Chain A
Amino acid sequence: MSDPALAQHLPGQRAALRSRWLAYALAIAVIIVLPLIFNDTYWRTNLTVCAINVLLAIGLDFILGYAGQLNLGHSAFYGLGAYVSTLLIVKLGIPFWVAFIAGVAFAGIAGTFLSLFAVRLRGHYLAIASLGFAVIVHQILLNWISLTQGPLGIYGIAPPPAIVIGGVVIADFRNLAAFFYLVAGFAFLSYMLLSQLVRSPIGETLTAIREDEVSAASLGINGAAWKVFAFGVGSAVAGAAGCFYASFVGTLVPDAFFVSEAFTILAMVIVGGMGTLIGPVFGAILLTVLPEVLRGFGDLRLVVYGAALTFVVLFMPGGLAQAARVVAEKLGLRRSA
């Protein structure tokens, strides 16, 4: 390495790589162990919901935190993934994993549709367009009764078929622990995928677009194309979450995808720390677990969501990620930038 200033960076990079693999190993270990510790139905259900919310949060963070696009309609992609996959299975008898791919693809395409608005609109306009989109999707799910059965919902949705190799059942997804491993495993892989993308020039490109689109264009970055990409990827991930949700809960009603759900996902991203990817993971876990812990407060637990969102924005806009950094600096584990 010719330049000493650069060389100083490299050992830091190698150390970062090592700690990342360590963190991944730790995460896998935690995922494996969790359902063994919490072996009651209530908590295993919560764990799976956590995993689904993690998927939703990282998908939104990719769009909002990295590409900087204010998407208030993430619930729409969630719902579309759920309904498209479920309807294919229930009405056309299509095998689960084929329907899964279809659901993910449909959600991704819906995302690219919305991204066309993002290409032309800034900030607040896009926020409202995405909100309008979410409302329309919800209303369609609610009112197209011949297709979706509207508010009555769709019942008896089966979990994914068991994985059987050579007559031996490897995984039966009626078992809550197995289902958790499936969703958590998928969430983990999605996280890794997004993390790799984000730490490549693609991440730099998205960040540039977020910071200053005109400036980015002067560097040859095609803002429009990358927005479409970000929306497509983020919404596809949400679609996957929807597919899992449907087969997990077994019942599908449109109100599960009311616009307030979009705000909940937004809260997870902001509270976790937007633009950090790992932050929203913890934001999702925190905001899934916290209301359960506060069950005794009844309706006030949702007030906690709102309060968390407001206070984080006012006092710690970087969310949990920022808080973690501050704590690490105070403890001397990290130099301040």
Chain B
Amino acid sequence: MSTAAATAMTTQPLLQAQGLHKNFGGVKAVSDISFDVPAGSIFAVIGPNGAGKSTLLNLISGVYQANAGSLSFKGTDLSRMPAHRRVRLGIARTFQKIRLFKQLSVLENVIAGFHVHHSIPAWQYVVHGAVFAEDQRRCREQAAKLLDFVGMSARLHVQAGSLSYGEQRMLELARALATKPQLLLIDEPAAGLNAAEVDTLLDRIRSLRNGGTTVVLVEHNMDLVMNVADRIMVMDYGRHLFEGVPAEVQKNPAVIAAYLGGELS
């Protein structure tokens, strides 16, 4: 890629939010939030409990519709676009509360993620011809590769419901990646993981970023965020508190106060 093209790519933010508002009854979960996420970066959203981080993620992925404000992805306006269509655009996500298909196997869960990428003519869904067989083979192969990426190759045929918590998280990641996203939204992935698992996770996220995937990460664990994010936005009570690179965020007094004097090492 030429320098000009690279510069052009990095100047148009992949995801842009402007004045987002989301209310639930009387509660202002998200209040006047604006930010830009440059392509190929890791953008973290942090804040104390109830800050509205997950709500923000739900707004981006389309589970909720904003009450006001605008959201655009690759220049396309996302308002009114239902969640499943955003996936076709290139947005994928994981959930804070794990939402795997517990009755299906690990492999089957990931294969489900290829839904938008099948290229089978309609009649071959009934008469399983050559194109069908090839598509199925390709799906299984790619699913296996993704599971290898997250380190779950040994567990392909295990029922998802019987995995450990850490494994379920990695499976969710692999499944989201199956949709071949340009933007990956990760919701509190480190919750419930031990130190080794967190390290692996960080490594995978960095690897994704280096491969060109943009990541928006909502997280509680400060160490993780400081080590991996390119830019951080801090939220508090649904409002924008501060935004900057990790070093700046660590030193900002308002941020420190919001975390009630918690240590930011």
A→B interface (CB under 8 Å): 2-3, 5-6, 9, 193, 196-197, 199-202, 204-205, 207-208, 211-212, 214-223, 337
What are 15 residue pairs bridging A and B, where the CB atoms are less than 8 Å apart in the complex? A5-B144, A6-B140, A199-B128, A201-B115, A202-B125, A204-B115, A205-B112, A211-B102, A212-B101, A217-B62, A218-B95, A220-B85, A220-B88, A221-B115, A222-B84
- From residue A322, how far is it (CB to closest CB) to chain B in Å? 13
Chain B residues with CB under 8 Å of A196's CB are 125-128
Interface flags, B95-136, vs A, CB<8A=1, else 0: 100011111100010011111101010000111100010010
Considering the complex, give the chain B residue whose CB is closest to the CB of A8.
B157
Given A5-B156, A196-B126, A197-B125, A219-B175 contact (CB < 8 Å): yes
Chain A residues with CB under 8 Å of B103's CB are 211
Considering the complex, give the chain B residue whose CB is closest to the CB of A195.
B126
Per the bound structure, the CA–CA distance linking A214 and B114 in Å amounts to 16
- Interface residue from B127, B141, B176 paired with A6 (Cβ < 8 Å): B141
Per the bound structure, the CA–CA distance linking A217 and B95 in Å amounts to 12
The reply to whether B83 and A197 form a contact with Cβ atoms under 8 Å apart is no
B82 in the interface, Cβ–Cβ < 8 Å? yes
The reply to whether A217 and B101 form a contact with Cβ atoms under 8 Å apart is no
Considering the complex, give the chain A residue whose CB is closest to the CB of B61.
A218
- From residue B89, how far is it (CB to closest CB) to chain A in Å? 10
Per the bound structure, the CA–CA distance linking A196 and B123 in Å amounts to 11
Considering the complex, give the chain A residue whose CB is closest to the CB of B103.
A211
Residues facing A in B166-187 (CB within 8 A) are 175-176, 178-179
Chain B residues with CB under 8 Å of A204's CB are 108, 111-112, 115
- Interface residue from B112, B126, B132, B140 paired with A219 (Cβ < 8 Å): B112
The reply to whether A200 and B125 form a contact with Cβ atoms under 8 Å apart is yes
B245 in the interface, Cβ–Cβ < 8 Å? no
Give the contact-size bracket for chain B.
35 or more
- From residue A30, how far is it (CB to closest CB) to chain B in Å? 24
- From residue A200, how far is it (CB to closest CB) to chain B in Å? 5
Per the bound structure, the CA–CA distance linking A311 and B169 in Å amounts to 37
B63 in the interface, Cβ–Cβ < 8 Å? yes
Since A201-B125, A212-B101, A220-B88 are in contact, a sample of 15 more A-B pairs with Cβ atoms closer than 8 Å, ordered by chain A residue number, is A3-B141, A5-B154, A5-B157, A6-B144, A196-B125, A200-B125, A205-B112, A211-B102, A214-B63, A217-B62, A218-B95, A219-B87, A219-B115, A220-B85, A337-B159
Chain B residues with CB under 8 Å of A208's CB are 101, 112, 115
The reply to whether A221 and B141 form a contact with Cβ atoms under 8 Å apart is no
Pairs A-B, 6 closest by C-beta atoms: A220-B87, A220-B116, A215-B99, A217-B83, A211-B101, A200-B125
- From residue B177, how far is it (CB to closest CB) to chain A in Å? 11
- From residue B118, how far is it (CB to closest CB) to chain A in Å? 5
- Interface residue from A2, A207, A217, A219 paired with B113 (Cβ < 8 Å): A219
B153 in the interface, Cβ–Cβ < 8 Å? yes
Chain A residues with CB under 8 Å of B102's CB are 211
The reply to whether A205 and B115 form a contact with Cβ atoms under 8 Å apart is yes
- Interface residue from B101, B128, B140, B179 paired with A220 (Cβ < 8 Å): B179
Considering the complex, give the chain A residue whose CB is closest to the CB of B175.
A219
Chain B residues with CB under 8 Å of A6's CB are 140-141, 144, 156
Chain A residues with CB under 8 Å of B157's CB are 5, 9
The reply to whether B115 and A220 form a contact with Cβ atoms under 8 Å apart is yes
Chain A residues with CB under 8 Å of B88's CB are 220
Considering the complex, give the chain B residue whose CB is closest to the CB of A2.
B141
Chain B residues with CB under 8 Å of A199's CB are 128
Per the bound structure, the CA–CA distance linking A201 and B112 in Å amounts to 8
Considering the complex, give the chain A residue whose CB is closest to the CB of B143.
A6
Chain B residues with CB under 8 Å of A214's CB are 63, 83, 95, 99
Chain B residues with CB under 8 Å of A217's CB are 62-63, 82-84, 87
- Interface residue from A9, A202, A207, A219 paired with B104 (Cβ < 8 Å): A207
